[in-house]
Structure 1
Amino acid sequence: MDGSLVRYSTSAGRWVLLATVLGSSLAFIDSTVVNIALPEIGRDLGADAAGLQWTINGYALSLAALILLGGSLGDRFGRKRIFMLGVAWFAVASLLCGLSPNVGWLIAARILQGIGGALLTPGSLAILEASFDREDRSKAIGAWSGLSGVGGALGPFIGGWLVGIGDWRYIFFINVPVAVVVLLVAARHVPESRNPQATGRIDVTGVLTGAIGLAGLTYGFTAWPMRGAGDPVVLGTLALGVAGLLAFVLAERRSRQPMMPLPIFRNKAFSGANLVTFLVYGANGGVFFLFVINLQVVADFSPLLAGTALLPSTVLMLLFSARSGALGQRIGPRIPMTVGPLVCAVALMMMSRIGAGADYWTGVLPSVIVFGVGLTLLVAPLTSTALGALDDAYAGIASGVNNAVARAAGLLAVAVLPLAAGLGGGSLTDAAQLSPVYRNTMMICAALMVAGGVLAWFLIPNRLPAHTPVKSFCDPGAPPVHPSRTAPPVRSGR
């Protein structure tokens, strides 16, 4: 490898894309397949409801709490190096999950899995941003979005198939050979990059306060629906989360080598992209949570049909996300980031009408296709803007921030939207109670999409200014080639 940036159309570019897609899919798929295996896990390990819940929440908690650290470590020590460490860590944790003799062991191993996911997830996008030629980045990120979406959509099918043919432990064991493939491809084909201005020192105060803040909010919002808003545990953990994040901001302002440099938020395009991310991914969280439940409980669809209902959206993203990224590169991100959420809002208003006796072909499929068109227009330009608004030296932390915002929005949506829609202490498995809650939730999500589109129009520029890229390099221990160490790290979002 000669140290130059790779092109999307070359074999080198395809290998880089393959490594990042497979690596990030490990974390994406494991967020969904475990849900399918929970009944088998409960029967095999004798786990109660709380133990099964923590099997899910332990992973989400450590992932959300440490994802910023993963992006920062990549910027400091090498994105390829931290990405590969995360993949290897995830594989070992998956093996421990599959060997679990009891639910306590499984929960601990799932927490370790979340740590691995926090190391590899921001690295996958940061590698794309730092490795591809500027003209090809949006296309590469679009292809990554589409292919990763397919991986997430296939997760429930893979999990159901593995549980059906054998044992729930297979859903964890299968991660090991996939991780080995990722490590082999990454070691041979992925170029190394890092922030030349970052030091090897870890911002310990920032790590601790950020982890406490994100973990507190994650746990508080996760416990809210079960315990109630006035429960002392909910209030205490939410207060701890807010205090932790405030302490994190103060620590980052005072640190000489902050994990998340606060001046990056002076960039209008970067801040705007993350605000849009929070709104639209909050809406997506509500849709993906309630849509399938409504199809089964209210419309009386089979689990298989309900689970495949959104596949047309995934297929559209797979086929056209790369082209959407290229379109955003050509005309600028503002228009697709404005139009995409508005199209999604129309789809969600259509989805709100899905009720008892709905027919898939006439009542469900049209809204799913419109939703897929909106997401295809939106996701690749949004991700490209969130990463491309800052200098390449900050690709890791930009990816970490955007991932943390998206995951926080999804957690908040699942916790708050059913309550805001009028569920109260009702049941999600009772058709009479769920029907109005679902309809109200879809309308709230549509409003969030509209707000995201409006914000994008006012905050996202027509063009992102050019910048000096950090060149790739092969030896992770060698200094990166950077033509201008005096270039400003943050670009203005004019």
Structure 2
Amino acid sequence: MTEAVTSERPPAGRRALAPLALAQFICCFAGSNMNVMINDISRDLGTTVHGVQITITVFLVVMAAFMIPGGKLTDRYGRKRCFLVGLTIYGVGALMSASAPGLGGLILGNSILQGVGTALLIPPVYVLTTLLFPGFASRARAFGVIMAMGGLGAAAGPLIGGVITSGLGWRAAFVFQALIIVLIAVLSRALDDPLPPDPNRSFDTGGAVLSAAGLILVVVGILAVDNNVWLAVVLLALGVLVLAWFVRSMRAREAAGREPLLSTAVFRNRTANLGLVTQHLQWLLLLGTSFTVAAYLQVVRGYNAVETGVVFSAATLGLLVSSLAAERLAKRRPPRTLILAGFALGVGGIVVLITMVNSFPSAWAFAPGLLLIGLSLGLMLTPSVNVVQSSFPESQQGEIAGLSRSLSNLGASLGTAIAGTILLAELTTSTYAAAMITLAAIGLLGLLTAAFLPGTAVPTGGEGDGA
């Protein structure tokens, strides 16, 4: 890579940052804003809380299932082209959701089309950021902006969605998403793709089918626990077997000299593997907590969409505070320290959410715990993403971006599925506490995982640590 190319990249990166950050915002917004529409959608479409939970979870699992193939397609067809196709599919899905006559239409528009659109447009966000911002420090700043926007979308989703739902109806929230997509498409004219696409690069269709099927079976199995335990066990077992088949097919393709969907080399980088686990657990914690608190407030406490959204403003405030300090903290502390602090704050926030809610009837009893959740999210999202992306060279950015976002969205879908399965068995204060205790245990697992990360910054391109 020449010095001339490197010197030209920061301006191109700065021009690209706005559409990339907005794309991250709207996709994360879509994953959390429906949590405050549970009662409104249930009444309007003649469904149940469980039906809305399935819609949210299917959206997240479709993203997870197709994110790895989506990342791989960026190498073959180009980052910008995949980004624009993803925007188009997402926008069509948003408009279909806004006009859905029933739950099936909502699942098709939101869960399927918006899920597939997200799977196509998010990997280019991570690949382009990594390519356009050389060096760990500049990349950390760029990812800081993008992850702050993503975290803001996830944390402020309930508030923005609640205001729109209360003022204009839940369908208007999907129109809002479509309008943001149009804005991103206009801003995307400034996007430059530093690497040319390789149309001759092979695509592992069989691996894509196996990975998607395995992930879907696992999440559907968790959702089925509430209705049929034996069916859930069968689906989970099938999911594990299909994923094992996928791993075996990857190794077979490599042994035969053919390119698999995922190179087995990406799993030999210890630092990146630990970073991937922390990303998975972060999103599991966030979306699980968001769904649990939102469902409890609306169904048990009887709050409307805007009241629920206002309560979640505490999480948004926490996220903004920690995100604004993220760049300064990244210069003073290694990623491991920030991720450890994030998980510690997250677990502390869940403990506060359990104790305060049981002790005080006011809605503001939720504020301290949600504030800590927001602070934790802003602290750890950026360093964990930067650790993973910076561990690999340019040639592997497509597949690691797909794997990274797949595991994050799988965490989000599992968080909603696990918490929802516990909570919706019989929605009471006791099941609320049980769901939150489960999420706290998952947060402790994240804390333990982060403790094994290296204490210093990761070299760009994975120059160390067995890449």
Residue of structure 2 aligned with 1:466, choices 429, 445, 460: 460
- Structure 1 residues 366 and 180 mapped into 2: Cα distance closer, same or farther (>3 Å)? closer
Could you tell me whether the CA contact under 8 Å between 1:338 and 1:457 is conserved in 2? yes
Tell me the equivalent position of 2:19.
19
Distance apart, 1:360 and its partner CA: 5.9
Task: State the identity %.
Answer: 26
Distance apart, 1:460 and its partner CA: 3.3
What amino acid maps onto 2:345 in structure 1? Answer: V
- Structure 1 residues 128 and 458 mapped into 2: Cα distance closer, same or farther (>3 Å)? same
Distance apart, 1:48 and its partner CA: 7.3
What amino acid maps onto 1:150 in structure 2? Answer: L
2:245 maps to 1:247:
yes
Tell me the equivalent position of 1:327.
329
Worse-matched range after superposition: 167-176 or 400-409: 167-176
SS of equivalent residue, structure 2 residue 229: coil
For 1:95 and 1:213, the matched residues in 2 are separated by 30
Structure 1, gaps ≥5 residues long: 468-489
Could you tell me whether the CA contact under 8 Å between 1:341 and 1:452 is conserved in 2? yes
1:300-344 deviation per Cα after TM superposition (whole angstroms, max 9, x unaligned): 877544433332332333344254245335543122122221232
For 2:302 and 2:105, the matched residues in 1 are separated by 37
Tell me the equivalent position of 1:413.
415
Map 1:46-445 onto structure 2 (within 5 A). Answer: 55-100=55-100, 103-110=103-110, 111-134=112-135, 135-166=137-168, 168-187=170-189, 189-194=190-195, 199-225=200-226, 227-230=227-230, 232=231, 234-255=232-253, 256-295=258-297, 304-321=306-323, 323-325=325-327, 327-328=329-330, 331-356=333-358, 358=360, 363-417=365-419, 426-428=425-427, 430=428, 434-435=429-430, 437-445=431-439
Could you tell me whether the CA contact under 8 Å between 1:312 and 1:369 is conserved in 2? yes
Distance apart, 1:203 and its partner CA: 0.8
SS of equivalent residue, structure 1 residue 493: coil
- Structure 1 residues 376 and 6 mapped into 2: Cα distance closer, same or farther (>3 Å)? farther
Worse-matched range after superposition: 150-159 or 49-58: 49-58
Report the structure, 1 or 2, having the larger helix content.
2
2:465 maps to 1:452:
no
What amino acid maps onto 1:277 in structure 2? Answer: Q
Distance apart, 1:245 and its partner CA: 0.9
SS of equivalent residue, structure 1 residue 355: helix
SS of equivalent residue, structure 1 residue 389: coil
Distance apart, 1:396 and its partner CA: 2.8
Structure 2, gaps ≥5 residues long: none
- Structure 1 residues 339 and 171 mapped into 2: Cα distance closer, same or farther (>3 Å)? closer
1:104-123 deviation per Cα after TM superposition (whole angstroms, max 9, x unaligned): 44433331221111111222
- Structure 1 residues 85 and 300 mapped into 2: Cα distance closer, same or farther (>3 Å)? closer
Distance apart, 1:19 and its partner CA: 0.2
For 2:154 and 2:287, the matched residues in 1 are separated by 14
For 2:188 and 2:63, the matched residues in 1 are separated by 22
For 2:351 and 2:291, the matched residues in 1 are separated by 16
1:396-446 deviation per Cα after TM superposition (whole angstroms, max 9, x unaligned): 3222222222222233333335767xx7x8411x3xxx23x4334434433
SS of equivalent residue, structure 1 residue 91: helix
SS of equivalent residue, structure 1 residue 455: helix
What amino acid maps onto 1:335 in structure 2? Answer: T
What amino acid maps onto 2:201 in structure 1? Answer: G
Q: RMSD of the TM alignment (CA)?
A: 3.3
- Structure 1 residues 305 and 16 mapped into 2: Cα distance closer, same or farther (>3 Å)? same
- Structure 1 residues 40 and 349 mapped into 2: Cα distance closer, same or farther (>3 Å)? closer
What amino acid maps onto 1:71 in structure 2? Answer: G
Worse-matched range after superposition: 408-417 or 377-386: 408-417
SS of equivalent residue, structure 1 residue 353: helix
Q: TM-score, normalised by structure 2?
A: 0.85
